[in-house]
Structure 1
Amino acid sequence: MFPKFSPARATIPALVVGLLAVLLILYTWRLPPFTSSVQTTDDAYVRGLVTVVSPQVAGYIVDIPVRDYAEVREGTLLARIDDRIFQQRLAQARAQLSTAQAALANLDVQRRTKEASIEVSRAGIENAQAVLTKAQADERRLAPLIEANIQSRAQGDQVRAALRQAEAGLAQSQASETVAQQSLAETLATRPSLEAAVQNAEAAVHLAEIDLQNTRILAPGNGRLGEVGARVGQYVTAGTQITSLVPELRWVVANYKETQLAGMQVGQPVTFRVDALQGAQLTGRVERFSPATGSEFSVIRADNATGNFTKVAQRLPVRIAIDAGQPLADRLAPGMSVVVRIDTASAPAPAGPAMAQD
């Protein structure tokens, strides 16, 4: 005889399963009573200052002494462009500078010559003044004698003619001085343009020197190179990517949902696990928050005023400084994925040693 089936006994397992399912959902979504002060996100990555190295001048590459992923120091030669044309341009600029300087020096010679001409004209004026004074004296002495018929009128005509010549000579000497003064003024007026020509030639020399220096592409800082994309014999122009330089500076950017930000403060301790290091855990601290969500920095911004609206939690980037003294920190590379955990209930830690920041 079979036992009588009881509906109450069948309901109990179903209720237990349902309760467990509800509890699992609440735990998964961190809803009460499973709320936690620890905020976690896997939308986080290692970041670094990746610098694209490009030439400033155009030309053919003649030497690339470095290789992919090499460690370099600031000033290390990465590539060299054929500099023969730039050397000739520098020589040409220096020759033009010499010409401009010679023209300016010649102006000083001309100035001294014109000043000497003025002195000669002044001496001529003094001589003409002396001749005029003598002629005037002769005319005054001879006039009474002619009136008294002691001297002939022909002699008087000669004296008066000499007086007129002396007056004309003085006027000519004075005009010569005026001409010499004007010539000197014209010469001095050309000095600003000649000085400007010298300055322009000096600037051209400096530009040619800069272009010649730029044929040597140097590392802008310490770090490791990415892939070297240039080849010997390749023609490059300004802006052509030669390689990339990744400095030692590292940090983490965690994109937290806006609903997770309550309680987060600058200085709070952070732990994060790195996928590439088999989940190894490292530490850091909250350094600063982005001034806007990621959507505000997108090229095409969303316009919620059009069409149907669906509210979506936005994410705010949080920059995390990596604590110094962690051996595994040297193995971090920009772009690595990490999982970040921040306990919003913890107090901000005092400023401690961290990896060098920008």
Structure 2
Amino acid sequence: MDQRVNRLERQSHDPEIDLRTALDKEMEPASEGSSPRGRARPWRLYGAVLAALIVVGAGGWWLWQQFTHVFVTDARVAADIVAVSSRVPGWVTAVEVIAGDSVRKGRILVRIDDRESRLLVQELDAQLAGVARRREQIGARIVLTGRQTESRITAKQAAVRAAAAALAAAAAQRDLAKTENDRAEKLAPSGAITRARLDQTRTALETTKQQVLSAQADLENARAALAEAEAAREELTVLQRQLAELGPEEQRLRAQRQRLALDLQDRTIIMPFGGVVDQTFVDEGEYVTPGQRLLMVHDPERVRVEANVKETDIRFFRPGKTVTIAVDALPGQRFPGTVTRVGQAATSEFALLPNPNPSGNFTKITQRLPVRIAVQQVGGALKPGMMVELEAGTGE
């Protein structure tokens, strides 16, 4: 080694040549193909070139995507989450479900104590039954009174006719007696009839007059009795009015019963639609008030995506536009979606504390508008609240 160094030092005419570099060149073999290290260098070069091409291709693809597509990261899966509340107060006697249960439509969720409501319904049922009995009773009285009144009126009408006939007969007897008495009064002065005969005619006339008066009195009594019998028909009118008053009373009782039946029905909280239970807020034994939230449920088949899109990109999200949805929780899966609605006002307009900027200091901030996108549920994988990303093309 020392001899080789000395030889290189003697052969060097330039004092600035690095001895170590010369030594390395001296140690290299004449042919690179004959050494394993020499053979590895081309492959490393090829690998570096390939990596550079991949990086350049990926960068080009990224640039192409940025120029031809719009990406929205402020988006979530949403659904109509319904808060199930109680319309009536009471003690919770049973909670039939827990959070995460899949529940069909009409299944019982919560039961509230209904003992008092059942008793009130039974009380109104009894009152309605009493109204029905009273209606039957008044109806029977109307039939009986009607028949009795008609019979009495018929009898009194016959009595009036008989009294009228007796009055007519008495009047005829009176007229006959008056005629005989007048004849006797004319013959008596001439002595054609005796004094006794004259007295008889006078007595007969007076008797017939009294009979006429009696017949007139009987006729008046018969007519009065007929009027009384006909007045009994007013009792039928009173009974009919009593029967008619039962209608509104029964209607009022039925309305009260329907209201109590509704109260009784509302003490059993049922599932309004087929879906899942998101959360429960009450336990058995708690006292709930009207309007208190008991559970939260939603229909997993009716999900959507809601996004807040920059105002500079909103033109690419017209209704009917097809977009691509990527869910953070489902890497590698992409879902197609369709824009169904674009908000007519920026989200800042609905802020709790809007900024009217009265001072004049202005910082321009890109606003966002709400966009709703329809998406098809896939086996219940899309759940409300999941973060998603949207990709929409900028071309027509």
What TM bracket, shorter-length normalisation? 0.7 to 0.9
How far apart are residue 41 of structure 1 and its match?
Answer: 2.1
Any residues of structure 2 matched to 1:164-175 within 5 Å, and which?
164-175=217-228
Match of 2:135 in 1: 104
Q: The residue matched to 1:277 in structure 2 has which SS?
A: coil
* Alignment check: 8 A CA contact 2:156 2:226 kept: yes
* Alignment check: 8 A CA contact 1:285 1:323 kept: no
Match of 1:49 in 2: 80
Q: Distance in 1 between matches of 2:165 and 2:356?
A: 105
Higher mean alpha-carbon deviation, 159-168 vs 94-103, is at 159-168
Match of 1:207 in 2: 259
Higher mean alpha-carbon deviation, 286-295 vs 71-80, is at 286-295
How far apart are residue 250 of structure 1 and its match?
Answer: 0.7
- Paired AA for residue 202 in structure 1: R
Matched, 1:265 2:318: yes
Q: Alpha carbons of 1:134 and 1:319: their partners in 2 closer, same or farther (altered >3 Å)? A: same
Any residues of structure 2 matched to 1:7-86 within 5 Å, and which?
36-86=67-117
Which of 329, 334, 337 pairs up with 2:384? 334
Q: Distance in 2 between matches of 1:165 and 1:307?
A: 112
TM-score between both structures, scaled by the size of structure 2: 0.70
- Paired AA for residue 187 in structure 1: L
**Cα RMSD (Å) of the superposition?**
2.8
Matched, 1:225 2:277: yes
How far apart are residue 195 of structure 1 and its match?
Answer: 0.8
| 1:261-309 deviation per Cα after TM superposition (whole angstroms, max 9, x unaligned) | 22432222211222333575332121222343334445666657x5537
Select the structure that is richer in helix: 2
- Paired AA for residue 382 in structure 2: L
Match of 1:282 in 2: 335
Any residues of structure 2 matched to 1:113-152 within 5 Å, and which?
113-147=144-178, 148-149=180-181, 150=201, 151-152=204-205
Q: Alpha carbons of 1:135 and 1:344: their partners in 2 closer, same or farther (altered >3 Å)? A: farther
Q: Which runs of 5+ in 2 are unaligned?
A: 1-63, 182-200
Q: Distance in 1 between matches of 2:163 and 2:345?
A: 95
- Paired AA for residue 339 in structure 2: V
Q: Alpha carbons of 1:297 and 1:98: their partners in 2 closer, same or farther (altered >3 Å)? A: farther
How far apart are residue 315 of structure 1 and its match?
Answer: 2.2
How far apart are residue 94 of structure 1 and its match?
Answer: 0.6
Q: Alpha carbons of 1:135 and 1:291: their partners in 2 closer, same or farther (altered >3 Å)? A: farther
State percent identity of aligned pairs.
Answer: 28
Q: Distance in 1 between matches of 2:245 and 2:367?
A: 63
Q: Which runs of 5+ in 1 are unaligned?
A: 1-32, 347-358
Match of 1:198 in 2: 250
- Paired AA for residue 338 in structure 1: V
Match of 1:294 in 2: 347
Match of 1:4 in 2: none
Q: The residue matched to 1:321 in structure 2 has which SS?
A: strand
How far apart are residue 121 of structure 1 and its match?
Answer: 4.0
Structure (1 or 2) with the larger CA radius of gyration? 2
- Paired AA for residue 87 in structure 2: Q
How far apart are residue 38 of structure 1 and its match?
Answer: 2.2
| 1:154-184 deviation per Cα after TM superposition (whole angstroms, max 9, x unaligned) | 343133222222123213312430x223332
Match of 2:28 in 1: none
